[in-house]
Chains A and B, each alone.
Chain A
Amino acid sequence: MSLLTILAISLIGCLCAAWVFRFSGQVLSDQKPFFRDMPYGVAFGYVLGVAVLAWIIVTYIGAKIAGFPAANKLYFFVKAVEWFVIFAVAAVLFRILGRNLGTAGMRKLFRSMPLTASFGILIIILYAIVSIFAGWIAPYGQEQVFAQANIPPGGDPSTGGNPQFPMGTDQIGRDIYSRLIYGAQNTVGIAFATTCLAFFIGGTFGFLAATLGGWLDQIVSRTVDVLMAIPALIFALLLMTIATVWANNFGIDRTIFMVVIIAVIDATRVYRLARAVGQNIVVMDYIEAAKLRGEGLMYLIFREILPNATAPLLAEFGLRFCFVFLTIASLSFLGVGIQPPLADWGTMVKDLSQFINFAQFAPNVASAPLLAAGAIALLTVAVNFVVDWMLHKSSGLKE
């Protein structure tokens, strides 16, 4: 049977099952509104969801039972399911913890929090702890080179691992686990500093443009338009190439150039948001009242506008942080970002990338570059979950 036939049969099966599900629900529940008013599409959705879930469970159990060659094919599938369950359980536990500890306000916050948001907060807290205490947590230094290079992750001697290096070593023999931890410090720390700088620049100009308007608004906005017209990554790459020369000439750390360049490029996006939000606030009567009172520009911006713009700006901060973080990883991957021997996730993915070719017959070897990639993905997903939740809260949308 071809894949197409299987798909068609299962689709038709689901369609029939959906009708049976709705009809039997209506009969058995004696026309409860839930079943009575259920659109066919919704019934189909329920059935499809159950079918997919069943498929995942069956495949997972099958992979666990199956022997060596078949299990290899599903190695990443099994890992994904396991980690998904582990994270879900951790998030549930974290939320239960939050609901029962801490101040009344915090408990209330946790009670209305969706699971995705508590997952995001948990991950962010973990990353923060890891990056702050990297020096204490990491078993080895990020620059420490060991004799044995290219140990596959897993720490199991039967598959070529070494329990001393649970995530293996890289191509010149550095401990990947330690470098991942230091990578959190370098990548996340620099990304955070860059985002803060971007918000300082973009926010200040955005609010100034919104409040003063006129020629200042025109000049800044058009400048920003020009900067935004150039593709961000290519622009950053170009400037970094120039900065490399300057860094050597003036003896300034190249990382500082990178922070400033990415901050300026991302500040253009922040500027757009701050200006739009600011313009909506500036027309409010309380701003007019403050102007008529004779208040100065600083008071208007910091005391009247900023408190009302924090929710959208904070949400943008989360998103912007992800973008900055990915830009840094991309630049490092391309070789102009954070420089060795400093550990950085983007560089790690690049250095270990050739191992991905082993995925067919030695999946644990192939997972080496995926560890750093996973660390990036996890943080990005976590931050986005939290941002979604904050946006939802600040917009006042219910359900």
Chain B
Amino acid sequence: MSGTLLKIRNLQIEGRADETWNPIINGIDFDLNKGEVLGLIGESGAGKSTAGLAAMGFTRDGCRISGGTVEFDGIDLVNASAAVKRGLLGKRIAYVAQSAAASFNPAHKLIEQHVEAPVQHGVQDRATSQADGIELYRRLRLPDPDNIGFRYPHQVSGGQLQRAMTAMAMSCRPDLIIFDEPTTALDVTTQIEVLAAIRDIVEQFDTAAIYITHDLAVVAQMADKIKVLLKGDEVEEADTRTMLSDPKEEYTKSLWAVRSFQRPAKPAINTGATPVISVQNVTAAYGTVPVLFDVNFDIHQGRTVAVVGESGSGKSTAARCITGLLPPKQGHIEFDGVALPLDYKKRNKDQLRQAQMIYQMADTALNPRKSIGEIIGRPVQFYSGLTGADKRRRVEQLLEQIELEPTQYINRLPSELSGGQKQRVGIARALAADPKFIICDEVTSALDQLVAEGILKLLADLQDTLGLSYMFITHDLATVRSISDEVVVMKDGRVVEQGPKADMFQPPHHPYTDLLLSSVPEMDPDWLTELLEKRGIDNIGDAAVGKMV
């Protein structure tokens, strides 16, 4: 820890929209010493990615640095010529993007892309750089490090790509790396591997890093100090332990409090009651590829059943079987004790009405060319036949239920709403059908934590007032903890464990459940270290999953 590497003073960035310049960042300062890791956190739109890019003296198209200074090792990056920046970027400052899958060139092998920067900058020749790349792959604990570099990006998994990208950023041994949400798109179990790899390598080479994320627990593992941003302003900055134990500002405290939302436990289910939805011995396949094997679970009136698992575990497929989009090969679905036709096309209007769905991506779930009033009004009219003033009154009532002011929002288009508001409209559309049962498919995973908490509370309130039953598909165990009554854990198309929430979060677990649970980052800066010690350094991630199954 010697000397200041990066010095940012009163940085202001503006973006161009509708012919005017609007401020994105209004004057933030920070210093970064050699070998130090700074965590930048905030909601989407807080300007954390923009700030991270500005640390490289770079702005996205349509943005400009309108004031302040960025000084990297004594070099003024704001006014540096393109030639000077070309000499620095890639060599002394590197960048790791959020989606490695979208950032690698699919036409070239990993190692080809890895050696590009060192050769270009004249740091190493091709052969040395290639050997070094393989060594980095080994240190990042990629499987088969000698050969993985000779694969194309589509031939390796998302988590591996993310690590390969980190290796690529390390190729010139930069002084500073900017990580822009490197684990956001990954499953919890994969996330652990990437986090551990990044942390190790940053420590080994004494590299300074800026770690951008919206996940507080992740940043707690990675950063030496944390800076909280809100709408382009700095909220507060402190070292990680102080920040976690003793946040000063209200906004920071509210961010910290999100994870504590939890619903009171409900009385046990009456054993004789007929479940609203009963999935019985369902086996399903896409074409000839089997994806679900003999899945059974029940969802009772007024209850929330969380279905958890990694991507590819078949949890969304189970939802598609219930809705009838993917008719199961075997088994059947009962609604209130009556078997539903397997194909949705054969179900009658009332059967369709009773089971509604809320989607993960509100952007694609709402028709962008229709106003909010039309989107919610259509199911109202379709199922209840209301028209004119009656329909409008019902739509207004629904908007009030989702806590959006009717007169203000009824004529807006989805593009004029924020992510959380769009998701609320998605909920209102499901409610408009007056259903008994709603499938929530990852409804909060695309949202910031504060917004997500709002959605979860809304869903919980609606359940209490309307007696709805939810099937809650998620990979986020914090969400499971806060909203569910019962939990179904799925892996590779099979239910590995199910039961009431209280039982599921208490040992003994199925080994896979245990792995999932222990992989959820906690707000304790020592969590990752302890976890890795417990699991044994070679036993993380893929290997661990393999052994347990």
Contacts and interface: CB of A to CB of B under 8 A. Distances in A.
Interface of A: 31, 33, 36-37, 111-112, 284-286, 288-289, 291-295, 304, 307-308, 398-399
A37 B80 CA distance: 10
B453 to A, nearest CB: 23
A286 B364 CA distance: 6
Given A292-B325, A293-B379, A33 B344 contact: no
Given A111-B19, A112-B19, A285-B365, A399 B62 contact: yes
B142 interface: no
A206 B475 CA distance: 38
A114 B366 CA distance: 32
A36 B367 CA distance: 47
Interface string B374-385: 000011001100
A294 B369 contact: no
A311 to B, nearest CB: 10
Contacts of B364: 284-286
Contacts of B62: 398-399
Given A111-B19, A398-B62, A292 B352 contact: yes
Contacts of A111: 19
A289 B352 contact: no
A289 B81 CA distance: 52
A224 B392 CA distance: 45
B369 A308 contact: yes
B81 A36 contact: yes
Contacts of B352: 292-294
A294 B349 contact: yes
30 contacts: A33-B81, A37-B81, A37-B82, A37-B83, A112-B19, A284-B365, A284-B367, A285-B359, A285-B361, A286-B365, A288-B357, A289-B357, A289-B365, A291-B325, A292-B324, A292-B325, A292-B344, A292-B356, A292-B357, A293-B378, A293-B379, A293-B382, A293-B383, A293-B433, A294-B352, A295-B382, A307-B367, A307-B370, A308-B368, A398-B61
Contacts of B82: 36-37
Contacts of B213: none
B323 interface: yes
Contacts of A284: 364-365, 367
A112 B18 CA distance: 9
Contacts of A399: 61-62
A193 B357 CA distance: 44
Contact of B367 (A37, A112, A286, A292): A286
A286 B382 CA distance: 15
Interface of B: 19, 61-62, 79, 81-83, 323-325, 344, 347, 349, 352, 356-357, 359, 361, 364-370, 378-379, 382-383, 429, 433
Contacts of A288: 325, 357
Contacts of A398: 61-62
A107 to B, nearest CB: 12
A135 B83 CA distance: 65
B3 to A, nearest CB: 29
Contact of A289 (B61, B324, B347, B359): B359
A112 B19 CA distance: 8
6 A-B pairs with the lowest CB-CB distances in the bound complex, closest first: A307-B369, A285-B365, A37-B82, A285-B359, A286-B367, A294-B352
A288 B323 CA distance: 10
B367 A304 contact: yes
Nearest to A399: B61
B323 A292 contact: yes
Could you say which of B352, B359, B367 has the most chain A C-beta atoms within 10 Å of its C-beta? B367
Nearest to A39: B82
Nearest to B17: A398
A399 B357 CA distance: 39
B211 to A, nearest CB: 30
B365 A291 contact: no
A376 to B, nearest CB: 35
B8 to A, nearest CB: 20
Given A284-B364, A286-B364, A286-B366, A291 B344 contact: yes
B461 to A, nearest CB: 23
B325 to A, nearest CB: 7
Contacts of A286: 364-367
A289 B433 CA distance: 12
Nearest to A31: B81
Contacts of A37: 81-83
A399 B16 CA distance: 11
Contacts of B370: 307
A291 B81 CA distance: 56
Nearest to A310: B369
Nearest to A112: B19
Contacts of A294: 347, 349, 352, 382
Given A285-B365, A293-B378, 15 more contacts: A31-B81, A33-B79, A33-B81, A285-B361, A286-B366, A289-B357, A289-B429, A292-B324, A292-B344, A292-B357, A293-B379, A294-B347, A304-B367, A307-B370, A399-B62
B437 to A, nearest CB: 13
A308 B79 CA distance: 44
A33 B471 CA distance: 57
A43 to B, nearest CB: 14
Contacts of B357: 288-289, 292
A36 B79 CA distance: 11
Contacts of B81: 31, 33, 36-37
Contacts of A285: 359, 361, 364-365
B367 A308 contact: yes
A27 to B, nearest CB: 15
A294 B429 CA distance: 14
A369 to B, nearest CB: 45
Could you say which of A31, A112, A286 has the most chain B C-beta atoms within 10 Å of its C-beta? A286
A266 B284 CA distance: 43
A112 B17 CA distance: 12
Nearest to B414: A286
Contacts of B324: 292
Contacts of B367: 284, 286, 304, 307-308
B277 to A, nearest CB: 15
B422 to A, nearest CB: 11
